[in-house]
């Protein structure tokens, strides 16, 4: 009797294994169909247009003070206009307004400097920002520049005594917010 019950149990186990094997291809087919439908949905859904263009520059070898001053100078200007103004700074025709005890400059500016090296770096970043906007199909006429400069980690120079200048810069094309009247 014990042998017969063992044989029946073995037969039942084999039948269950066959059923499981038969179910596995069905599950795989269902999974394949689900993945195909997901792919089709992704294709049919239209891609959302990007609304902003961003350029992140890490560890630029320029002064943080100059970078902050340039960011204040070009903030909420058009990209083309900002690049032209920085070209004037490189040619030393226009000074960047800065804080601190600095000499006065010609024109309607109290004090300022001509940070040529930093201006050249910003011109490169503005070109990259404009190219990014073109790729993302963003209208350059309706957008303005948001700008931020932060101090980066400062490694030691070759001699090991002085530290190098490093700055992180983020440029973003955005729509300028309208001022609300306070009443």
For position 77, which CATH number holds?
3.90.470.10
In a domain, residue 67? The reply is: yes
In a domain, residue 14? The reply is: no
Q: Tens digits of per-residue pLDDT, 127-141?
A: 999 999 999 988 888
Contact by Cβ (8 Å): 165, 61:
yes
- Residue range(s) defining the domain that contains residue 166: 53-155+162-174
In a domain, residue 38? The reply is: no
In a domain, residue 29? The reply is: no
Residue 148 pairs in a beta bridge with 170
In a domain, residue 108? The reply is: yes
In a domain, residue 28? The reply is: no
Q: Is the pLDDT of residue 35 over 90?
A: no
The pTM for the full model equals: 0.71
pLDDT at 40: 66
CB atoms within 10 A of CB 95: 22
In a domain, residue 23? The reply is: no
Phi, psi dihedrals of residue 167, rounded to the nearest 5°: -145, 140
Q: In terms of pLDDT, which residue wins out, 42 or 126?
A: 126
State the total domains in the chain: 1
For the stretch 71-84, what's the b/e string if a residue is b when 16 or more beta carbons lie within 10 angstroms of its beta carbon? bebbeebbbeebbe
In a domain, residue 27? The reply is: no
């Amino acid at each position: 009797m014990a042998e017969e019950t063992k044989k029946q149990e073995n037969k039942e186990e084999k039948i269950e294994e066959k059923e499981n094997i038969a179910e596995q291809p069905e599950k795989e087919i269902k999974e394949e169909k689900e993945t195909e439908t997901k792919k089709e949905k992704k294709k049919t859904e239209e891609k959302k247009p990007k609304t902003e263009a961003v350029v992140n520059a890490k560890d630029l070898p320029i002064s943080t003070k100059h970078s902050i001053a340039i960011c204040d100078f070009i903030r909420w200007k058009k990209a083309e206009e900002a690049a032209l103004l920085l070209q004037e700074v490189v040619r030393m025709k226009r000074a960047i307004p800065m804080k601190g005890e600095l000499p006065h400059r010609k024109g309607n500016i109290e004090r300022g400097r001509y940070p040529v090296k930093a201006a050249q770096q910003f011109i490169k970043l503005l070109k990259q920002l404009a190219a990014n906007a073109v790729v993302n199909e963003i209208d350059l006429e309706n957008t303005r520049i948001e700008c931020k400069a932060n101090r980066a980690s400062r490694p030691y120079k070759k001699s090991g005594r002085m530290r190098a200048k490093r700055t992180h810069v983020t440029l973003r094309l955005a729509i300028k917010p309208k001022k609300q009247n306070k009443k």
